[in-house]
Structure 1
Amino acid sequence: MSNFTLNAGSTVVFVVRGDVVVKTNVTQADGVYIVGGTFKDYDDTQGKSRGTSPYKLTINGAVYAHAFDLSAFLSDLCGAPACDNDQNPTDLVVFQPKYLVALSQMIGSPSVSWQEVAP
């Protein structure tokens, strides 16, 4: 996968039964991701137990998943004075509900009914 960016008026929701794996060279993946399996922020095809990347991943939208594996960490190539993941996190998710609101006619919305119950 390469970077996935959307125009201001566009929207997308990915509904995935299995896992979603974002390669470590991806820096932006906009949209809402609804994942039935695991959302993973690194590609471990090289046999590494954790991913290293000089890049931050920014998701404008939201991620909902059964499980998360956010094991990627910034390498010493990140360009910051100290690549400390506590101070410079590898992943940034900017919640933007516009993606869900724009598609509510197609994906539906939960029906909620509130009523007062006597004690």
Structure 2
Amino acid sequence: MCMMFLGILRPNRVDTHYETINAPPGFETPPEKILCSRCGHITNAVYRKTYKNCVCFFVPCPWVETGEPFLACSRCNMPLEHFPQKECISCQTLTTFKSDYCPICGGRKEMPTEERG
């Protein structure tokens, strides 16, 4: 009974916060026109940092920066680094889809091997 009571009064949790930052030194500039596979919007990619803090017995600890900056969708915060990105030749939209054709304009994403020369 005592353990159950202590479990109710122990609201320990970890909160996560993402902050948009400028391109860090040594990183390339983020793409400006990308089709996010999660939210479906054409948006700009942005660099984000992750901050975490924990709350122990209703007392919040300070925010701590965790991990490296990462590229993410500016609308839904989905990380974009782990997906291969292909650019459409016609509309210059980056997509993470594995198709040969752009879902926006219908153009080819890459030139066929016979046209490459």
Same fold by TM-score greater than 0.5? no
TM-score (norm 2): 0.23
